[in-house]
Amino acid sequence: MLQPLLEKSEALYFRINGQVITFAARISFFLADMLEADDITATYKGARCKMPCHTCIILQSDLNNMSLKLKNVPHRTHENMKQVINNGQEKEYSVHSVENSFWKFLNLNIYEACVPDRMHHIDLGLFKFTQDILKAVGGIELQKKFDD
């Protein structure tokens, strides 16, 4: 439905209350569980791969390294993943050797656009600490209401 608009320009401009607002008609994010995010980003599934995160380039051995500065961890982008594939380093970076169809959208970093579906994780019983935090702030009652 938006294809004609996307072909004409990279952005749309609306005048709202006398102010021009830029609107980029692109997908903002995907709610996904870990397996879906791996599929969308063409990264390896599994906890034993070298770089299991679909968002950043961090070694599996450093995932629990609390002294590691997050700002120093490089993020996956379509540019650096293309370079990894061109250099034949797919296995080192845990990425499949395929061109991701989302790379053609220059305004969209598909690796950052996959947002964890936290409610799904809680429902599955993953991330027990999240349930404990909800319980501590009184939010666990909301989950009981959802179950009813």
User: What percentage of the chain exceeds 70 in pLDDT?
Assistant: 61
Q: Are residues 105 and 126 in the same domain?
A: no
Predicted confidence (pLDDT) per residue in 62-80, tens digit:
877 777 766 678 889 999 9
CA 24-98-85 angle, to 5 degrees, is 95
Residue 19 lies in a domain: no
Distance CA 139, CA 73 (A): 32
Containing structural domain, residue 130 = 118-148
Residue 50: C-alpha distances to residues 39, 85, 92, 142 (Å): 17, 15, 6, 38
Q: Are residues 97 and 54 in the same domain?
A: yes
Mean pLDDT for 5-9 is: 56
Tell whether the model's pLDDT for residue 144 goes beyond 70.
Answer: no
- Report the SS3 class of residue 30: strand
Question: For the whole model, what pTM was predicted?
Answer: 0.58
Do 55 and 93 touch, CB atoms closer than 8 A?
no
Predicted confidence (pLDDT) per residue in 32-64, tens digit:
777 788 888 899 987 778 998 888 888 888 877
Q: Are residues 75 and 43 in the same domain?
A: yes
pLDDT tier at 92, thresholds 50, 70, 90: very high
Residues 6 or more apart whose Cβ sits within 8 Å of residue 107: 10, 24, 26
Residue 1 lies in a domain: no
Predicted confidence (pLDDT) per residue in 114-134, tens digit:
876 665 555 555 556 556 666
Do 121 and 134 touch, CB atoms closer than 8 A?
no
Number of structural domains (the chain) is 2
Q: Are residues 45 and 96 in the same domain?
A: yes
Residue 13 lies in a domain: no
Do 41 and 114 touch, CB atoms closer than 8 A?
yes
- Report the SS3 class of residue 83: helix
